[in-house]
Amino acid sequence: MPYKEKTIEKKYFAIGEVAEMFDVAPSLIRFWESEFEIIAPKKNRKGNRQFTRDDIENVRLIYHLVKEKGFTLQGAKEMLKKDSGKVKSDLDMIDSLKQVRSFLVELRQQLG
């Protein structure tokens, strides 16, 4: 049986990597961690934060509410407490629409 190459998926991300994903300073991620219960990365023996994909998804929700929608921290907390599922589904829909839009723009460019 021939060897099949398996893609290795990263399980944990450092705070610098997460900050880079959102183009923010690591200090902002640490601040949000202190303000929002849903951001709770594990820490390794050295005390370095280890963010999982779920942690990153929670950062994405907060980033969307605070940076993109202009909510105050208190407003974002209340929105997440009231209906975090709706916030996530709205954000997922926005991401899907952005993908469709970029596909259509690319298609238009190819058609000339």
pLDDT, tens digit, for every residue of 1-52? 555 666 677 889 999 999 999 999 999 999 999 999 999 999 999 999 999 9
CATH 3.60.20.10 for domain 15-82, yes or no, is: no
Q: How far apart are CA 61 and CA 29, in angstroms?
A: 12
Q: What is the pLDDT of residue 1?
A: 52
Angle between helices 26-35 and 53-63 (to 10 degrees): 90
The 3 state secondary structure assigned to the chain is CCCCCCCCCCCCECHHHHHHHHCCCHHHHHHHHHHCCCCCCEECCCCCEEECHHHHHHHHHHHHHHHHCCCCHHHHHHHHHHHHHHHHHHHHHHHHHHHHHHHHHHHHHHHC
pTM, 2 dp: 0.72
Name the residue ranges covered by the structural domains of the chain: 15-82
pLDDT, tens digit, for every residue of 59-103? 999 999 999 999 999 999 988 888 767 777 777 777 778 888 888
